[in-house]
Amino acid sequence: MILPFIWYLLIGVLIAGYALLDGFDLGVGILYPFITKTAQQKAVLRTSIGPVWDGNEVWLLTAGGALFAAFPAVYATVFSGFYLAMMLVLFCLIFRAVSLEPRVQRQRNTAWDWAFFIGSALPALLFGVAIGNIIRGVPIDAQGEFGGTFFTLLNPFSLLVGVLALSMFLKHGAAWVALRTDGALQRRGAKVLSVAHWVFIALFVITTIVAATTQTDQVKRVIDNALGWIMIVVILAGIVLTRWGMARKRDGYAFIGSALDMLGLVGLMAVGNYPNLVPALNDPTRSLTVGNSHSSHLTLMVMGIIALIGVPLVLAYTALVYTKFKGRISSAHTEGYGQE
Amino acid sequence: MDAVLLARIQFAFTVGYHFLFVPISLGSGVFMLLAARRWYKSQLDDDKAGYLFWLKIFTATFVIGVATGITMEFAFGTNWATYSRFVGDIFGAPLAAEALFAFFLESTFLGVLLFGRNRVKPKFYYVSVWLVVCGALLSALWIIIANSWQQTPAGYAIQDGKAVLTDFWAAAFNPSTIPRYLHTVISTWVAGSLLAGGIAAYYLRHGRHILFAKRTIVAAVVFGLICSIAMPLIGDWQARVVAEHQPAKMAAYEGLFTSTPNAGIVLFGIVDEDQQTVHAQLAVPGMLSWTITGSTDGVVKGLDSFPADERPPLKATYYTYRAMVILGIYFGVLLLVGTFLAWRKKLATSRRYQAALTWSAPLGIIAIELGWFATEIGRQPWIVQGELKTSDAASSVVPAAHILTTLIIFVVIYALLFGVWFRAIRKTVKAGPAETAAAPVPQPTGDAATALMATMTEEVKE
């Protein structure tokens, strides 16, 4: 059982990595049409995420691939069961990629600006809704297939988690803007962050109260487990650190605080759900669990070796490239915009 | 309409579309690398302009490749859930490895190429170009491992109705992986050479960017010729693998209805399913038997060796394969003539050859697409050769209406993307590599395509 457990953890790590990396560029996309007033400011925001967003998105692809390899039954049931939602995310990501990378931008035609916005906001919301459903459970039939419809997914609890995720990404994006820009844009980012931070706290409290009354299994697992308490401490530390960073104008700490929130929330979900990957709402014996949906031990072992080689390599060069692009991007220096 | 049929149409469309851009990325990547090397060694502005030209072509194509590639990773789960359950133990690992080893490498260092010119040292930058190109080649390796396993599965056992990995190396390097990889990658280099040669010939015909064009056209025809010579050698290897592991596909490739010794390789002919024959045949007698068995007396299995429901669609397989082979021969001749002209120093002045090369620019991509159709249609009805049929592999919970809806959306979005890509490439080619003295200053206020190109390599100077 140790290998499936390790892969459960690793997929959690990949999802957390995705949330705290792609999270900020999704957040930037959500803020993009609202906090920029000039083409220069837009250029600053795009430049701040330009070199890294694509690499960040690969965390999602890696998580998807790892889920396919380690828990094929879960990959098959979730992707086919959540068909329309998945396709919606996919279309968003396609538009987003095109709106961002070649930056098909026209000053008068803002269609691609909105593609960037919708391509960021809708996946943020839908990822939250998906997580909400995976906490709440979905109907699963005797063959292990999803037994609901698109509208089964749009239940109040999952939508609440969706809004929480949206606020979390928005906050993370605002923290990034505050960290990586200067002047008016930086001030606007900080302002959004201070509001978004409170919105996030409020939604977190509401979600916790709702979960405490409806998701009793998960809550019990969290409070019975030291890891669960650690995750709660991480989230609270993140909230405090963000607040402290804002108050002291230490934008880096505010950003790290925001990242800790994400890490803690993904961790909390992982602790609460274990050993379920997808709980069955109708009949707990049909739940897809770490025990009943994992790949063969040989596959998990091979994948483990691949991860052991690949992950440190990726972390090393990702960190290297981030250091090459560190520092604030100044609006005053975007006069070279578009020039070689 | 039938849900499985719709899922097949959707997959064929999305993967066929994705596979238009992948070869262009791989092919133009070589020329980007050559240009980057030249610039790194000389540090001249002219060479920088040549490199930036290829970077723009590469990036515009890569972006569409990335955007449409996500679709493919989703598609196995969304549309082919039964297949995913059946092969997950084997098929998931190469996909995860592709993301981990290749996608991260490509996307992280492409960020450096686009935004890092003033942030990293020239050597770091140059190494980044290498890493992006190697990332693309690695990506191709992993996905071809996955695809080859479907065609010639190995290193597995069937347990509880699922394929389970028993030997990783046997599965990864199954019989068709290496020949398929070489064939695919080298064919993208031929296609890239035709594209690069075509662009250079266009400049020469119009008397523009002469230095850049002369250099590019020579590199393109020589490199293209070397790759074209390699193709039939690998093709021979592949033919033997196909004949051994997918004999029905080989029979369909050659329109071979009945098992026979002295089987020929058909260059041209009209296949007639009713009369079970190939009319107006132009063939090399005995060649197929000789290739596969080592003797013209060797018997090659015909379609009659297989039950009717285990034969691939004949016409589609036969004609796409034939068209690919004919185009491949044409490329060999074209590039041989080009190399000869380059040797006689007539390449820069031969207008007729330049015109032929310009018009042949997109044909390499078309040949690759045809080859892809041939190999994928030719393995039907199997999604995993001998183990699982395509008709049994689709998601059972997704209604036909949902697939039809998303198919229509895909067609619309992909048409739009093609327009964006095509305009970007056309603008880049029309503008050409920037001349040193009169570097145009692109305005972000121009139309979308201008802005796209203008901002594609933008840097915010610190």
* Cβ-nearest to A72 among B88, B402, B441: B88
Q: Report pLDDT for A101.
A: 62
- Which residues in chain A have Cβ-Cβ distances shorter than 8 Å to B63? 97-98, 101-102
- A264 by Cβ neighbours in 10 Å (0-12 / 13-18 / 19+) ranks as buried
Number of domains making up chain B: 1
Tokens of B198: 């075509």
Supply the pLDDT for residue A102.
52
- Whether A337 has its CB under 8 Å from any CB of chain B: the answer is yes
Closest Cα of chain B to A160: distance in Å?
25
Domain that holds residue B320: 175-384
Element (H, E) at A308: helix A297-324
Range 28-47 of A in CB contact (< 8 A) with B: 39, 43-44, 47
Of B96, B442, B451, the CB nearest to A68: B96
Contact: B168, A298; criterion CB under 8 Å:
yes
SS (H, E, C) chain B: CCHHHHHHHHHHHHHHHHHHHHHHHHHHHHHHHHHHHHHHHHCCHHHHHHHHHHHHHHHHHHHHHHHHHHHHHHHHHHCCHHHHHHHHHHHHHHHHHHHHHHHHHHHHHHHHHHHCCCCCCHHHHHHHHHHHHHHHHHHHHHHHHHHHHHHCCCCEEEECCEEEECCHHHHHCCCCHHHHHHHHHHHHHHHHHHHHHHHHHHHHHCCCCHHHHHHHHHHHHHHHHHHHHHHHHHHHHHHHHHHHHCHHHHHHHHCCCCCEECCCEEEEEEEECCCCEEEEEEEECCHHHHHHHCCCCCEECCHHHCCHHHCCCHHHHHHHHHHHHHHHHHHHHHHHHHHHHHHCCCCCCCHHHHHHHHHHCCHHHHHHHHHHHHHHHHCCCEEECCCEEHHHCCCCCCCHHHHHHHHHHHHHHHHHHHHHHHHHHHHHHHHCCCCCCCCCCCCCCCCHHHHHHHHHCCCCCC
CATH class, A2-327 region: mainly alpha
* B448 vs A: CB within 8 A: yes
In a domain, B87, yes or no: no
CA distance A272 to chain B (A): 25
Please tell me the distance in Å from A90's CA to the nearest CA on chain B.
7
Q: What is the radius of gyration, based on Cα positions, of chain A? A: 20
pTM over 0.90: no
Residue B98 forms contact with A (CB below 8 Å): yes
Contact A290, A68 (CB under 8 A): no
Residue ranges per structural domain of chain A? 2-327
Q: Do B100 and A65 touch (CB under 8 A)?
A: yes
Q: Work out the number of other CB atoms within 10 angstroms of the CB of residue B158.
A: 11
Query: Could A43 and B458 be called an inter-chain contact, meaning their C-beta atoms sit closer than 8 Å?
Result: yes
pLDDT by 10s per residue, chain B, length 462: 788 899 999 999 999 999 999 999 999 999 999 999 999 988 888 888 889 899 989 988 998 888 898 899 899 989 999 999 899 899 888 888 898 899 999 999 998 888 888 888 889 999 999 999 999 999 999 999 999 999 999 989 998 888 899 999 999 999 999 999 999 999 999 999 999 999 999 998 888 888 888 889 999 999 999 999 999 899 888 888 998 888 899 888 888 888 888 888 888 888 888 888 887 788 888 888 888 888 888 888 888 888 988 889 988 999 999 999 999 999 999 999 989 888 888 888 888 898 999 999 999 999 999 999 999 999 989 999 888 888 888 888 888 888 999 999 999 999 988 988 888 888 888 888 886 544 444 333 334 444 444 444 443 332
Query: How confident is the model over B241-290, as pLDDT tens digits?
Result: 998 888 899 888 888 888 888 888 888 888 888 888 887 788 888 888 88
| CA pseudo-torsion sign B351, B352, B357, B363 | positive
User: Pick from B67, B92, B420: which is nearest to A104 by CB?
Assistant: B420
DSSP state of A328: P
The DSSP secondary-structure symbol of A334 reads G
Contact between B247 and B240 under an 8 Å Cβ cutoff? The reply is: no
Q: What is the pLDDT of residues A15-68, one digit of tens each?
A: 999 999 999 999 999 998 888 888 788 888 888 888 888 889 899 999 999 999
Does A94 contact B451 at a Cβ distance shorter than 8 Å? no
Contact B104 A39 (CB under 8 A): no
Cα distance between residue B225 and residue B237, in whole Å: 19
Portion 131-150 of A in contact with B at CB < 8 A: 143, 145-146
Q: Please give the structure tokens belonging to residue B205.
A: 């015909």
pLDDT at site A71: 93
Q: Which residues of chain B are within 8 Å of residue A50 when distances are taken between CB atoms?
A: 111, 114-115
- The tens-digit pLDDT sequence of chain A (340 residues) is 788 999 999 999 999 999 999 999 999 999 988 888 887 888 888 888 888 888 898 999 999 999 999 999 999 999 998 899 899 999 999 988 888 765 454 445 577 888 889 999 999 999 999 999 999 988 988 888 888 888 888 899 999 999 999 999 999 999 999 998 888 888 899 999 999 999 999 999 999 999 889 888 888 888 898 988 999 999 999 999 999 998 888 888 999 999 999 999 999 999 988 888 888 888 888 888 888 888 888 999 999 999 999 999 999 999 998 888 888 887 655 433 333 3
Contact A296 B445 (CB under 8 A): no
ipTM score for this prediction:
0.88
Q: Considering the domain boundaries, does residue B393 fall inside one?
A: no
Chain B, nearest residue to A305 by Cα: B97
